[in-house]
Structures are given as structure tokens and as C-alpha cells.
Structure 1
Amino acid sequence: MSAAGASAPDPSVSLEPADLLPDALLDTFRERAAGYDRDNRFFDEDLADLRELGYLRLLVPTELGGLGGTLRQASRLQRRLAGAAPATALGVNMHLVVTGAALVAARRGLDAARPILEEAAAGELFAFGISEAGNDAMLFDAATTAEPDGRGGYALTGTKIFTSLSPAWTRLVTHGKVAAAGADGDDALVFGVLERDEHVRVADDWDTHGMRASQSCTTRLTDAPLTAGRVVTTTPVGPNPDPFLFGVFGAFELLLAAVYTGVAERAVQVAVDIAGTRRSATRGLVHADDPDIRWRIADAAIALDGSVLQIDALTADLDAMGAAEPVPSATDHGARWFLQFSGVKARATETAMAAVDQALRASGGAQFFRGRELERLSRDVRAGMYHPSDEESVHASYARALLGDIGAER
């Protein structure tokens, strides 16, 4: 794949959301989602269906055997999938984040990212093992240690949390800190791909409020071998413009925003359906004619429209960075890329939670009972607040960009 080129989508496969994910399939996913949630079970059947559709090859270029999709197309598909099966969409999101990051990095000249795309085309399922308890810096630092093995590789030891796809992944993108590895003797970070073996232990500890089917269990690494050929990149500790980290940050934030927006869009539609049939005995009118109900549903829809437009615009801008020819309508955000990524994610997830709350308020106390779709959606959408970038870090980043570091000379 050319570092600058972008492959055309496979003309034999329509990447329009309603074509690749038809209503009948989503109905099946929605029915399963209730059972997965009730039983706290992984989405095995959904994953098999998505694999058969080629969904795991969505962001792999056609010349490597993929569907040649863009991040903008992936975001639209993920919104649609999340409306039927939020936890399935969140789990698959992590595979798409990895392949999307590899796509962005390869187009920016990082050849070491290409094997990720090749393996995804061959059927491997990628998980994302970056989160660590207490590591607020996420991509830009690590508590996991990486000891050089003398052959260009490393042995990784540490604990990763929120590792979605835990029962099924075959490849794990992760990172660790290498002591005094930088040119000036500073610590460095190494990013690469692990295979599932006896050095990688997955805990059976996922029993959560929402997003239960994602099975995002704790993963413990003990001298896990990251061989030289599986190293994707090494970076300094701290924020930096490395192509792979840039791709990870962008794909992660934007596709997460898409998932939670999709959850909220579905909640609004459920509220619309309920309003059309539910009647007020005291006021003698259907709730769709109640001014208060109408205002709540409209308020949620107005806010979600803003999220959709932001996600669409920024994914299109990110896709344009890999285009063979300049895209006149695209914006290169320069030093503000990371702010834009995190800002869209934070706004979209907060908007999604507020929209689901409005849908609940418009739909009556019956939706408080277990087994109701809105009840489940209201729990699933809450997970959005725990993904990076959280509100605190986003505000801190924007404040730093506007005001400088705390205590800096003015």
C-alpha cells in the first residue's frame, strides 16, 4: 500500500449502512443484545455474523483483501450497529480502532503498521490493551514494563484493564515502558502486537452496570514476548506526533463518539415509538401531542444532530490525510488535531447521555423495569464517561492550549 495513496472501496460490497447492516440483521442483533446483557455473555453469534459480512476487514485496503472503507464510513456503520447492539458495537470498535490506526499510520509512511492490516485481512481479531489503572496519560505513558530481550524485542509485564473482546481476540495491541531507552537516557515507550499465549492471562472479572456483552476483562502480562518483528513503533514518554499514536488517538475518539451517538439515536427512536401509542388518562391525549413530551424528544434530537455533524466532519478530515490527491473541502487541523479528537468524543458522549435521559423522561416509569430496551440503553450509554478522554482531561488540555501551563509566566 502506498504511504500516500488511498484504495477505492470494493465495488462488490456496498458500505452504505442500511445495505451492509440491513434491518432484518439488526433486529436479530437487538434481540440477542437483551439476552447477552441479562446473562452477562460475550456476543459470539454477533461476531460470527459480522465476520461473515467482512466487517472485520472494513478498514483494510482492497489491495490487501479488505473492503477499502474509510473512517467516515466506519463511523456511520458503527452508529447503526450501536443502535441495535451497543456492547457488540463497542467490542468491535476496538478492532476497528486498531485497523483504523494502522491505516492512518501506513498512509503516513509507517511501514511497520502494514502487518496489522494484512493479519486483519487474514481473519485475526485485534484487541486494544492500553488502559491501566491510574495511568491518566494513557497512550503517552505506561505502568507496564518492557525489558529488552537482546534481539530487538521486549518482555512485557503489567496489567491492562478494560480489554474488550477478551474471550475472542487473537492479537493484542499494547505498550510498555522501556527504562532509559531514549537517546538522552530518558524512558521510552514501545508499542506492538502480542499473540495469545501462556504469558497473557485474561481474568473472568467483567460484571458491570452496562456494556456487559463487550466482556472487557482485565489482562495480565507476565514476560509476554513482544518480538522485534511485532514492534510497531517506539516513542518518547509524553505527547508526540508519532503516526501510529496519532492514528490510534483519532480512530479511538471518533469511533467511540459514533458508538455512543448511535445508542442515543436509538433511544430517541424508542421514545418516539412510545409517544405514539402511550396515552395520558387524565389529559386525554396521546403523548405525541403532549407539548412537554414533544419538547424533550426534540431537545434530544437537536443535540444529537450536532454530534453527527461533528463526527462526520472530523472523520472526513482524517480520511483526507491519506488521500492520493488533495481534498479541497478537508481541513488539516495542525496542532489542534488532538484537541479536536478529544473534544468531539467528550461532547458526543455527554450529549448521548443527556439525550437518553430525555428519552427516558419522555417515556414513563415502565421503562425503569429490567427487560425494557430503554432501561438497557440507559445503562450502556453511561460507559461513555469512563473512556478517555474524560471531561477532566479534555478541559485540562483546552485550558493548557488557551492559557499555557499552570504557573507559566504571562
Structure 2
Amino acid sequence: MTLIAERLLTTLTDAERARMEKVESVLPALREAAAKADETGEFPVGHIALMREAGLLGLIIPEEFGGLGGGLRDLAGATFTLGSACPSTALAYFFHNTSASRGLLPLEAIEAGLFAEDEVPVIKAFAERLLTNMAGGTWLANFASEEVKSSSANIAIATIATPVEGGWSLSGVKSFGCATGVADYYLVTAKVDGTTDADGLALFLVNRDSEGITNRPKWNGLGMRASANDGVIMENVFVPSEDSLTVPGSFVKMLQMSRGSFVGNQLAIMAVYLGAAQNAYDYALERTTGKTFADTGKTIASSPMHQVIIGNMAERLETAYLWIRRQIELETSEPPLLPKAEVYKQWRIAKGDISEACFQVALGALKACGTSAATMDGVIGRTLRDLAMALVMTFPAERGRLEAASMITQDKENELFASVNS
């Protein structure tokens, strides 16, 4: 049987295939609920138990912690597959899986010798607790983004963590991350009170029902409407010490272990968009080749206009595939093909190009299918709105290209100067 994930990952190992079969097992329910979820803007709560029972909440958790043992390729294949059925669910699922990096990367940093001997037990305990919970079926919402913005960073942390007896008190507003009111726990990034740099960033596992947590006003999104992106307000929320990782510099040290795209899994969000774009393309092709003109009997797809539109869609779709497959290769190959800085630079460009290419596919599908398919609740209408969100999520293409250009020109400027021995 050919799996949907094989359109992205052209070769699968036996273990990867087994994991992707688990992903495909939940697709019928996701497809059935997608239109209603978009209409109401509510995350389908039945999906939680569905994905938990399939073991998918532990997809990229090592088997030693009770997970399925998948990696970045598995995550990209899963979000691509889920994105072809319900992008909102795929997006929320993606953010759940980003939480795993806060367990996996600290353990890698320990192996690399980045922590002092007395810090290791604390780091290890938090990492293993997080990974074991995920493997056991705990859904995590990864809350990092906030209302405050910084001109020098994509994510600015203003939430404050204050030490109190037995743990920490959190206060702040988290504006994005998916699964508000859905996830069992919120993984919150905050800064320790009194710190002024990244060494003061810390991680906290916050029970969804903790006293002092309220949801922000409902997010009435243009697309991805059922991803529960409301965000939370925290006022003196208590977090026990065992659910906290506050070792100074731990956040920065763990990020040093990533392979390129921030915490090593950001490319999987692009797979969500690509899965949605592929679904729109398939829908448009089936619709235009399945209907004929009344006067000639030829398929609608055979008209010159449709031939141009379909050709453009195919080109944009292939562009997105090429970018994301290259990024997957760069971030999973052993040994690494390029230095981390080069991988990161490519990611900044790739994210924007994939987003814009996928949106153009949806736009082409709208043109090809015409007025009768241009409904709010149809495949084309939903996908066009979902992929419009791809243009602004994480960061717009313009910012990625600007940062890549800055890195490129800075490197060139450095080449103009050299230290030589006389």
C-alpha cells in the first residue's frame, strides 16, 4: 500500500512505514470533522483520544522512554499526512511535538559535556519527566510566543518566573502555540525574575487547570481556525520545582544541539502546509478532469486556461517539495552535510519559499475550480484560508530572506579582512 507520507519521503524504512501507518489510521476521523471544525473554530476534542490511542503523542519520543522512536523524518511525514486531512489538527499536533525538543536537546547537551556535574541530575530529571509524560499520552501545548515583540528576535519572552516556596510563580501572557484548553499541560518558556539575557530563560510544565490561568479572548482566525490558538493569561500560577528547568544557561545550551531550524523540528510545520497544498491540487485536478464541456465533450482541464493554471500549480508544488526535502536532508543526514549556520540560513529562505509556493497552489486551485467551488466550507475555501496563514506564521518570507541576506553579506564582508604574518 502506498502511504500519503511517501509523496514527501520517497523511501521509508520498515520502522518509518509502521509509524506512518499509525498516522494514516486516524485520517478518516480527521477528514470527517475538518469542515465542522473550520466552521465552528473549535478543536475536535475526539481527536485527543484518537491520537493518544494510536500512540502518536509519543511519535518522536525514544523507545527507552516509552515512545515510538521516530525522528524528524517521521514528524515531517506525520504533519504532511495530517495536513492533507485537517491542517488545524496537524498544526496543533506539530506544536505538541515541538515540546519533545525540550527533553531531547538537554540530554544531548549532557552527552556533549555542556553542563557541570552538579547540574546534570536536575537537567536529566526534567528532560526524562517531559519525554516520559509525552510517551504516556500527555498532550503538551508549547507556549513561547507572546504579545510583546522585539525587532531583534522572532520570539521575545516577557513572562516572569519568581521563586516561591516549593517552586515558582509565573505571570505573563502567551499569545500563540495551539491547543489552548485542549492540551493536558502547557510547556511555558519564561525568564527568571531579575535576569536580563537568554541565560535567564527557563522551562515550566504547567497544568492546564492550575489556579491563575485564564484563556485569552477567542482567536477568530482567518485560517487554521480549529487549532485552539487563543493563548493564555497567567497570574501568579504556581509550578512545583520538579516541573521546572531553571538552571542558568540551560535553555541556550540545549539550543546549541539543534541541527538548524531553531530547535531542530521547525521544518515539520512546513510539511503541514505542503500536505494541505497537495490536497488542494489533487482536488482541483480531479474536479477539472472529471467534468466536461457540454459543447465539445472535452474535459475542463483540457482548456488552454486550465492547462496554464495546472502547469503553474504543478511547478509551485514541486518547488515546495524540493525545498523541504533538501531541508530534511540537511537536518537528518549523518554525518552533517553542512555547518549549522549554513543549514540555518537555508531554513530562513526555505520557510518563506515553501509558504508562498503552497499558497499559490491553493490560489491556482481556486481559479481552476471556479465559482461553484468557491465556498467557505469547501476544500478550496478552507485550504486557501489555511495557507494564507502560512504566509505569516513563525515569520514572513521577507524576514527570512532579509536575515539570510544579512548572514551572506556579513560573511562576505569578513572575507575582506585577514590576519597575516609578515
How far residue 264 of structure 1 moved from its aligned partner, in angstroms, is: 0.5
Contact 1:271 1:359 in 2 (8 A): yes
Q: What does 1:26-37 align with in structure 2 at a 5 Å threshold?
A: 26-37=27-38
How far residue 252 of structure 1 moved from its aligned partner, in angstroms, is: 4.9
In 1, distance between residues paired with 2:189 and 2:85? 33
The answer for the alignment partner of 2:41 in structure 1 is 40
| Corresponding residue to 1:20 among 19, 22, 27 | 22
- Cα RMSD of the aligned pairs, angstroms, is 3.3
How far residue 78 of structure 1 moved from its aligned partner, in angstroms, is: 1.0
Opposite residue 297 of structure 1, the aligned amino acid is: I
Q: What does 1:210-221 align with in structure 2 at a 5 Å threshold?
A: 210-221=223-234
| 1:378 and 2:384 matched | yes
Sort the Cα spacing of 1:250 and 1:187 in 2 relative to 1 into closer, same or farther, 3 A: closer
In 2, distance between residues paired with 1:186 and 1:46? 36
Q: What does 1:241-280 align with in structure 2 at a 5 Å threshold?
A: 242-243=254-255, 246=258, 249-280=262-293
How far residue 225 of structure 1 moved from its aligned partner, in angstroms, is: 2.7
Q: What does 1:224-303 align with in structure 2 at a 5 Å threshold?
A: 224-232=237-245, 242-243=254-255, 246=258, 249-281=262-294, 285-303=298-316
Contact 1:357 1:378 in 2 (8 A): yes
Contact 1:94 1:164 in 2 (8 A): yes
Contact 1:233 1:244 in 2 (8 A): no
Indicate the SS of the match to 1:285.
coil
In 2, distance between residues paired with 1:142 and 1:106? 24
The answer for the alignment partner of 1:222 in structure 2 is 235
How far residue 95 of structure 1 moved from its aligned partner, in angstroms, is: 0.6
How far residue 254 of structure 1 moved from its aligned partner, in angstroms, is: 0.8
| Corresponding residue to 1:134 among 148, 154, 170 | 148
The answer for the alignment partner of 2:7 in structure 1 is none
In 2, distance between residues paired with 1:277 and 1:106? 53
In 1, distance between residues paired with 2:198 and 2:34? 47
Indicate the SS of the match to 2:266.
helix
Q: Which runs of no fewer than 5 residues in structure 1 stay unpaired? A: 1-8, 321-326
The answer for the alignment partner of 1:5 in structure 2 is none
In 2, distance between residues paired with 1:246 and 1:228? 26
Q: What does 1:171-210 align with in structure 2 at a 5 Å threshold?
A: 171-181=185-195, 188-196=200-208, 197-210=210-223
Sort the Cα spacing of 1:234 and 1:244 in 2 relative to 1 into closer, same or farther, 3 A: farther
In 2, distance between residues paired with 1:244 and 1:216? 28
Contact 1:188 1:236 in 2 (8 A): yes
How far residue 47 of structure 1 moved from its aligned partner, in angstroms, is: 2.4
Query: Deviations for 1:71-97, whole angstroms, at most 9, x for unmatched residues?
Result: 111101211111111111111111111
Opposite residue 298 of structure 2, the aligned amino acid is: L
How far residue 166 of structure 1 moved from its aligned partner, in angstroms, is: 1.2
The answer for the alignment partner of 1:78 in structure 2 is 79
| 1:125 and 2:128 matched | no
| Corresponding residue to 1:145 among 160, 184, 198 | 160
In 1, distance between residues paired with 2:79 and 2:93? 9
In 2, distance between residues paired with 1:10 and 1:96? 21
Q: What does 1:292-371 align with in structure 2 at a 5 Å threshold?
A: 292-320=305-333, 327-328=334-335, 330-371=336-377
Opposite residue 369 of structure 2, the aligned amino acid is: S
How far residue 394 of structure 1 moved from its aligned partner, in angstroms, is: 1.2
In 2, distance between residues paired with 1:170 and 1:53? 17
Sort the Cα spacing of 1:102 and 1:372 in 2 relative to 1 into closer, same or farther, 3 A: same
Opposite residue 287 of structure 1, the aligned amino acid is: I
State the aligned residue count: 388
In 1, distance between residues paired with 2:330 and 2:198? 34
Give the percent of matched residue pairs that are identical in Structure 1 and Structure 2.
24
Contact 2:73 2:332 in 1 (8 A): yes
Q: What does 1:67-106 align with in structure 2 at a 5 Å threshold?
A: 67-106=68-107
Contact 1:156 1:223 in 2 (8 A): yes
Query: Deviations for 1:1-33, whole angstroms, at most 9, x for unmatched residues?
Result: xxxxxxxx997884353x2233x7423321210
Sort the Cα spacing of 1:294 and 1:234 in 2 relative to 1 into closer, same or farther, 3 A: farther
Indicate the SS of the match to 2:183.
coil
Indicate the SS of the match to 2:39.
helix
| Corresponding residue to 2:130 among 93, 98, 116 | 116
In 1, distance between residues paired with 2:360 and 2:299? 24
Q: Which runs of no fewer than 5 residues in structure 2 stay unpaired? A: 1-11, 111-122, 418-422
Indicate the SS of the match to 1:225.
strand
Normalising by structure 2, report the TM-score.
Answer: 0.81
Structure 1, 310-319 or 243-252: larger mean CA deviation: 243-252
The answer for the alignment partner of 1:397 in structure 2 is 403
| 1:167 and 2:167 matched | no
Contact 2:212 2:236 in 1 (8 A): yes
Query: Deviations for 1:291-343, whole angstroms, at most 9, x for unmatched residues?
Result: 331332232223222322332333344345xxxxxx25x42432234323333
How far residue 188 of structure 1 moved from its aligned partner, in angstroms, is: 2.8
Contact 1:179 1:186 in 2 (8 A): no
